[in-house]
Structure 1
């Protein structure tokens, strides 16, 4: 019999060994995941300016304001990352009926988040942190907040709404920033409700006393928090494992996800530990990195990955976000690029998506101000005519989406002997072309549904069509878009290639 106290430590396997297809499928399933987020919502304000003189009133610099932005911090940043990654967040919190509180709600609603479970209380102050910077150097931070537990009425309403929304979610996150939302046994009460309903609950902890989170599925402390929780220094792998197992034994966690700055992160259970090296190439700012970690980790678990694969995804997400300045979010596309930056095959697989995923990607492109072209076809045996059409299409916009007829669709259009290559193979070949950004397979005889849903800026077909015979032309033009008829390459067609191949075979016999 093996010794249950024996330590098994594994170094994280390369992404390629974890089945890229399974990770990519999980990330695509993020849009099906609903995450209940409870914690301290904070408004982060960023005031930028220049310093050109010292004040005559006191020996302090005068900051001339040049602009201001605001984002969600604390549990709000967790919500923002869940939404950015494609998931659905259900926030529950108590905030003030003040300017900061109204800004928090407005920002959530602008992200498409349902805010009906947020308790608004005029007697509570919403935490607001204002950062003043000159030439990208922070010169002052001004915090406006009041740290106090929930009032009895706030607590009653929060727990009531938690009970209501708990059955609707796939996983629960408690984001504790120590501002009062989870004090005085609130965390324990919510964790107990999760346990009774069979819901996993992940806690981003605060403070030295982790007993308040007893019974949670996992906690995700950083290295400093982990050391404070066990009362001793934590630096190397063995010390992280020992500290994490102490917490597991004391508080009944299934495992601990420890973030370790430049050393990556560690996933530790009672009988297994795995250490994952960091993926960050260049670190600008670690603000909010823990929020990104817990958001991507919870989404990955709920999407079906085990905790080690989920930690690999979360580690890649953290590597992206620390390369951005300020409290930042990571998108699903950025996450995939970080996971598979050295795996060209996985990148190629990623560009073959379903219509729902394509809509999300198109929305992100539009937010960046990018124009989108669309063309379609069977592309059964790729030839020079196809490549010419694709290149001309891409030349008309910043991004190109290619609609690809499914096998059944090709058979209806071309006959039972077609396609020569199945849709999976055709899509894989097309997605490897540098000019193609997305491939979407459709089962209908025409791409009309794709055009209506994706609404490209430019619709491209071959010059053997006229504009009034191009499917979807009227829709694109009515929306202010263009229809382009691409030049044809003489003598190039799949049917002709097949006939020549069959003829050569007959002559050979």
Structure 2
């Protein structure tokens, strides 16, 4: 079972978080690399498109909003076109930008990433990292405090661009803790003492190594240094993030290692923002620290599989939780109610659900190949499996050779199959109508007008596909050869 109850997301709608930190505009130049420059040994990126998104503390706010929380964002930007673009991105994300002040001494921080063939080639930063002018710090502090009066948590997103100075951090932490609010910090400063008294901080391996003087490669020593720092700074928890290796939660109960969720890593930019935002969401929803760390680890695994700075969405995390709850082969075997709920969760997360059906008696390579081909038409494959009584009516009293529980268990063992549902009827029509898949797959030995459920699936905008079969592979043929021998 999952460590985290899925009902956690229902508690977030009325929770409000104040985010204070370094705002940025992330620009992405996307292109294709086909050759190397004759002028220097560098690849030539043929520009195809440009995109942009809110970054830094603004990306933290996007993550929080995506998880369903209310967000008040406080920071500074320059009086320039970068600020206009940033505000437009925040408006698109339905985020309040009233707390974004115009700084007197700097422009908007812009990070430009050039990607060739979906891989980052170079990053260009336009920024000023000097501490904010005193008058701007005073205005920023006032803006944050006015919003904390109605907040449930404070999040400090420090990218070391001069906004979260030592005096500002100490003032905000003291005010929030004085009101009983949790304070979570994503740190960047070399000296972590400015975060003393916070509830939780989330340094990565390099950040903690820089702050403690311990080698980043020595994980055991780094964890020990983090544990000592937690006590010195009077923190409730310290979370050491380890990129593709997961994270370590360090608290008064000891060290809790969370292994990363196995996913293909495309881009780690923004993963730290997702981790800190998910920690805020978990704690705001009343989860314990270990359960919250588990949730944040799942969220990080989702966002690093995307290219670019992409926030987590509640639907994605909910789908990951339910997938985890169903982890294991036997758990893929569902009753109708469970299957309906799972299909709806997959579809809510933007995944196409493929449905197919059959007896799958004496599973062979023809079956396996067919299922692999059917899965390619979507993201999830649901198999309707004829129960024993149904098979006897269709195939005769000598069938099935393998009982329904065993057939279901073998199907569930296939990585291609995401869910198996037994049905007693002669056709799967009722099952199809209740599950409402996006794709209905059947063998190419049928014509579309012969496929049960085809008209129904097409009526709700679904697709019917006829999947090529492997020749000379059938259960009937195998049985005939066995009898002949």
TM-score, scaled relative to structure 1: 0.64
Give the 3-state SS of the residue equivalent to 2:31 in structure 1.
strand
Could you tell me which residue of structure 1 aligns to residue 317 of structure 2?
Answer: 335
Give the 3-state SS of the residue equivalent to 2:12 in structure 1.
helix
Compared with structure 1, are the counterparts of its residues 385 and 328 closer, same or farther at alpha carbon in structure 2 (3 Å cutoff)?
same
Equivalent pairs counted in the alignment come to: 370
**Residue number among 26, 29, 34 corresponding to 2:16 in the alignment:** 34
C-alpha deviations, 1:46-66, integer Å up to 9, x for none? 112245677788886654321
Compared with structure 1, are the counterparts of its residues 287 and 389 closer, same or farther at alpha carbon in structure 2 (3 Å cutoff)?
same
Asked if the contact 1:84/1:329 (under 8 Å) is kept, the reply is yes
Cα distance in 2 for partners of 1:363, 1:98 equals 39
Asked if the contact 2:200/2:239 (under 8 Å) is kept, the reply is yes
Cα distance in 1 for partners of 2:159, 2:73 equals 15
Give the 3-state SS of the residue equivalent to 2:114 in structure 1.
strand
Could you tell me which residue of structure 2 aligns to residue 391 of structure 1?
Answer: 432
Aligned-pair distance for 1:180? Answer: 0.9
Give the 3-state SS of the residue equivalent to 2:235 in structure 1.
coil
Q: Residue 80 in 1 paired to residue 80 in 2?
A: no
Q: How does 1:150-299 map onto structure 2 within 5 Å? A: 150-235=132-217, 238-299=220-281
Q: Residue 103 in 1 paired to residue 85 in 2?
A: yes
Query: Where in structure 2 are there 5+ consecutive unaligned residues?
Result: 352-377, 379-422, 441-455, 462-485
Cα distance in 2 for partners of 1:396, 1:232 equals 53
Could you tell me which residue of structure 1 aligns to residue 283 of structure 2?
Answer: 301
C-alpha deviations, 1:336-393, integer Å up to 9, x for none? 232342433999899999xxxx9x9998769xxx9xxxxxxxxxxx997998466347
Q: Residue 49 in 1 paired to residue 31 in 2?
A: yes
Asked if the contact 1:280/1:318 (under 8 Å) is kept, the reply is no
Cα distance in 1 for partners of 2:433, 2:460 equals 12
TM-score, scaled relative to structure 2: 0.67
Compared with structure 1, are the counterparts of its residues 55 and 394 closer, same or farther at alpha carbon in structure 2 (3 Å cutoff)?
same
C-alpha deviations, 1:176-204, integer Å up to 9, x for none? 00011102421111111112111110100
Q: How does 1:272-421 map onto structure 2 within 5 Å? A: 272-344=254-326, 388=429, 391-392=432-433
Aligned-pair distance for 1:95? Answer: 1.0
Aligned-pair distance for 1:137? Answer: 3.4
Aligned-pair distance for 1:307? Answer: 0.8
Give the 3-state SS of the residue equivalent to 1:168 in structure 2.
coil
Give the 3-state SS of the residue equivalent to 1:294 in structure 2.
helix
Q: Residue 147 in 1 paired to residue 129 in 2?
A: yes
Compared with structure 1, are the counterparts of its residues 61 and 266 closer, same or farther at alpha carbon in structure 2 (3 Å cutoff)?
closer
Asked if the contact 2:214/2:222 (under 8 Å) is kept, the reply is no
Compared with structure 1, are the counterparts of its residues 53 and 387 closer, same or farther at alpha carbon in structure 2 (3 Å cutoff)?
closer
Asked if the contact 2:271/2:304 (under 8 Å) is kept, the reply is yes
Give the 3-state SS of the residue equivalent to 2:184 in structure 1.
strand
Give the 3-state SS of the residue equivalent to 2:96 in structure 1.
coil
C-alpha deviations, 1:282-314, integer Å up to 9, x for none? 212111111110001110001000111100000
Compared with structure 1, are the counterparts of its residues 294 and 59 closer, same or farther at alpha carbon in structure 2 (3 Å cutoff)?
closer
**What RMSD, in angstroms, separates the aligned Cα atoms of the two structures?**
3.6
Give the 3-state SS of the residue equivalent to 1:31 in structure 2.
coil
Give the 3-state SS of the residue equivalent to 1:143 in structure 2.
strand
Cα distance in 1 for partners of 2:81, 2:123 equals 18
Aligned-pair distance for 1:220? Answer: 0.6
Cα distance in 2 for partners of 1:395, 1:81 equals 31
Which one is further off, 337-346 or 38-47? 337-346
Asked if the contact 2:131/2:165 (under 8 Å) is kept, the reply is yes
Asked if the contact 1:234/1:243 (under 8 Å) is kept, the reply is no
Give the 3-state SS of the residue equivalent to 2:294 in structure 1.
helix
Give the 3-state SS of the residue equivalent to 2:323 in structure 1.
coil
C-alpha deviations, 1:130-183, integer Å up to 9, x for none? 112222233332211111222223222211111111022111110000011102
Which one is further off, 176-185 or 303-312? 176-185
Asked if the contact 1:280/1:323 (under 8 Å) is kept, the reply is no
Compared with structure 1, are the counterparts of its residues 235 and 52 closer, same or farther at alpha carbon in structure 2 (3 Å cutoff)?
closer
Give the 3-state SS of the residue equivalent to 1:266 in structure 2.
strand
Compared with structure 1, are the counterparts of its residues 187 and 134 closer, same or farther at alpha carbon in structure 2 (3 Å cutoff)?
same
C-alpha deviations, 1:411-465, integer Å up to 9, x for none? xxxxxxxxxxxxxxxxxxxxxxxxxxxxxxxxxxxxxxxxxxxxxxxxx9xxxxx
**Residue number among 121, 127, 133 corresponding to 2:115 in the alignment:** 133
Compared with structure 1, are the counterparts of its residues 219 and 209 closer, same or farther at alpha carbon in structure 2 (3 Å cutoff)?
same
Aligned-pair distance for 1:109? Answer: 1.4
